[in-house]
Amino acid sequence: MKHATIAIIGAGSVGSTTAYALLLSDVGGEVILVDIDEERCKGEVLDLSDALPFCDASKVRTGTPRDASKADIIVITAGTPQVPDQPRTALVEQNAKIINTIIDGLKPINPNAIIIVVSNPVDIMTMCAQKRSGLPRQQVFGSGTFLDSQRLRGSIARIIGFAEQSIHAYILGEHGNSQFPAWSCAHAGGIPLTQFKQLTPEVLERVAQETREKAFEIIRCKHATFYGIAACVANICEAIIFDQKRILPLSTYVETFDVALSMPVVLGERGIEQQLELELSRCEKNRLAESAEKLRDVKKECPNL
C-alpha cells in the first residue's frame, strides 16, 4: 500500500498524538484530521505541520467526513474520555452514539478501507463500527489489548533484564478490568516466563495488576492517556501499509464468544488475516470465557447491537 491516506476522526489528545506518531514514523502518505470542533482541528494541524520538515514526505491537513471515507485507513479516536476511577464500560452509551453518527457520516465508505477503533470501551465500539459500516469484519477492528500487552512486556523486561522485544507475552480478553495475561504461552527466547526465578507467582500477579491499572494511574495524575496508545496505533498502521503480517493482540469479533475481544491476530494490508488460537491453561480458558461474558453483558446496554 504505497502513499497511504490515513484519516483520523477525533483530533483530541489521542487523535492528534496519533497523527504526530504517524508523521514521525515515516510511513509516508497523507494524514487527514477530522473533528466536529473545527477550530481545535485546525490548530492541531497547524501545530503538526511544524513537524513536517523533520518527516519523510508526509502531508497533514484537516478534512471532512467525505475525505475520510475515501482513505485507506480510518482511525476512530472520537469520543468522551474516562474520568478518574471510571471504568471504560461506563462510556458505552454516549460513545456508541458518537461511533454510529461518525460511521453514518462516512457512508459510502471506501469498500477496501481498514477501520481501526480506539474509542472506549474499545471492544464494544469495534462491534458498533463493524455492524454500522457493513464492511467485512477483518477490515474493522480495535486497538484492543495491544497497549496493555506492551505495558506487560515492559514490566517483565525490567524485571528479568532482557529487551522488551524479546519478551513474547499477551494480555487477552477485554481492554478493561476483566483482561488477563496468558502466562502459559509467555516466553523469552523460548524459555517460559514462569521458569524465571525472579518471576514468582506473586510477582506475576503484581505485574498483571499494575498492567490492568496503569491507565487509571495515568488518568489520576494527568486526566488522559495518549502517548502509548498513539505509538500503538502508528505501529498498527505501519503493519497494514507494509503488509507485515505481524502478530498483534487486537480486538476482533470472535465467533465462539459472539463478541469482540483481544486475541493474537495476523495483521496485513487486508486487515486481520487470521485469528490465532493459543494453548491456554484451564484457568486462562475460564478467564477468557468470563471476560467474553462480561463484554456480552455490556453489549446488551448498547442499542442496535
**CB-nearer residue toward ligand NAD: 88 or 287:** 88
Q: For the purposes of burial, counting CB atoms within 10 Å of the CB of 118, is it exposed (0-12), middle (13-18) or buried (19 or more)?
A: buried
**CB-nearer residue toward ligand NAD: 1 or 117:** 117
149 lies in the site for ligand NAD, by CB under 6 A: no
What is the distance in angstroms between the CA of the first residue and the CA of the last residue of the chain? 32
Using CB under 6 A, which residues numbered 151 to 180 contact ligand NAD? Answer: 175
In this structure, what are the phi and psi dihedrals at residue 280, rounded to the nearest 5 degrees?
-85, 155
58 lies in the site for ligand NAD, by CB under 6 A: no
User: Annotated catalytic residue: which of 3, 168, 175, 223?
Assistant: 175
13 lies in the site for ligand NAD, by CB under 6 A: yes
Among 119, 126, 211, 235, binds ligand NAD (CB under 6 A): 119
**CB-nearer residue toward ligand NAD: 199 or 252:** 252
**CB-nearer residue toward ligand NAD: 79 or 271:** 79
In this structure, what are the phi and psi dihedrals at residue 178, rounded to the nearest 5 degrees?
-95, 10
Cβ(36)–Cβ(12) below 8 Å: no
Q: Which residue is nearest to ligand NAD (CB)?
A: 12
Paired residues of 181 in beta bridges = 171
**CB-nearer residue toward ligand NAD: 95 or 199:** 95
Q: Which three cell numbers stand for residue 282?
A: 484451564
Cβ(110)–Cβ(72) below 8 Å: yes
15 lies in the site for ligand NAD, by CB under 6 A: yes
Among 110, 133, 143, 179, binds ligand NAD (CB under 6 A): 143
Using CB under 6 A, which residues numbered 194 to 233 contact ligand NAD? Answer: 224-226, 229
Among the listed ranges 19-27, 119-127, 155-163, 288-296, the one in contact with ligand NAD (CB under 6 A) is 119-127
9 lies in the site for ligand NAD, by CB under 6 A: yes
Paired residues of 247 in beta bridges = 266
Q: In the complex, what is the shortest distance from the CB of residue 240 to ligand NAD, in angstroms, rounded to a whole number?
A: 17
118 lies in the site for ligand NAD, by CB under 6 A: yes
78 lies in the site for ligand NAD, by CB under 6 A: yes
35 lies in the site for ligand NAD, by CB under 6 A: yes
Q: Is 168 a catalytic residue?
A: no
Residue ranges that bind ligand NAD, judged by CB under 6 A: 9-15, 34-37, 40, 77-82, 91, 95, 98, 101-102, 118-120, 122, 143, 147, 175, 224-226, 229
Query: What residues are labeled active site?
Result: 175
